[in-house]
Amino acid sequence: MKLKIGDFARISQVTVQTLRYYDDLGLLHPADVDNLTGYRYYDIDQLPHLHRILALKDLGFSLEQITRLMQGDLSPAELRGMLTLKQSELRNQVQEQLDRMERLEARLRLIEQENHPLTYEVLLKPVAAFSVASVRRIIPSYWDEGPLWVDLFNQLEKAGVEPVNPCLSVYHACEPEIDAEVCAPVALQPGERDDLHIHTLPAVETMAFTIHCGPFTGLAGAYAALLKWVDANDYHIAGPDREIYLQLPKAGQQHSDQNAVTEMQVPVRKKNG
How far apart are alpha carbons 42 and 26 in whole angstroms? Answer: 14
Is the separation of the CB atoms in 260 and 249 below 8 Å? yes
Is the separation of the CB atoms in 245 and 211 below 8 Å? no
CATH fold of 2-70? Multidrug-efflux Transporter Regulator; Chain: A; Domain 2 (1.10.1660)
Write down the pTM of the prediction: 0.67
- Domain-wise residue ranges, the chain: 2-70, 75-118, 123-270
Question: Whose CA is closest to 260, among 269, 251, 250?
Answer: 250
Is the separation of the CB atoms in 234 and 271 below 8 Å? yes
Q: What is the pLDDT along the chain (273 residues), one digit of tens a residue?
A: 789 999 999 999 999 999 999 999 889 999 999 888 889 999 999 999 999 899 889 888 889 888 888 876 667 787 788 888 888 988 998 988 888 888 888 878 777 777 666 688 999 999 999 999 999 999 999 889 999 999 999 999 999 999 999 999 999 998 788 999 999 999 999 988 989 999 999 999 999 999 999 999 999 999 999 999 999 899 999 999 999 999 998 888 888 899 999 999 999 999 875
Work out the burial of residue 252: count CB atoms within 10 Å of its CB; fewer than 13 is exposed, 13-18 middle, 19 or more buried.
Answer: exposed
CATH fold of 123-270? Multidrug-efflux Transporter 1 Regulator Bmrr; Chain A (3.20.80)
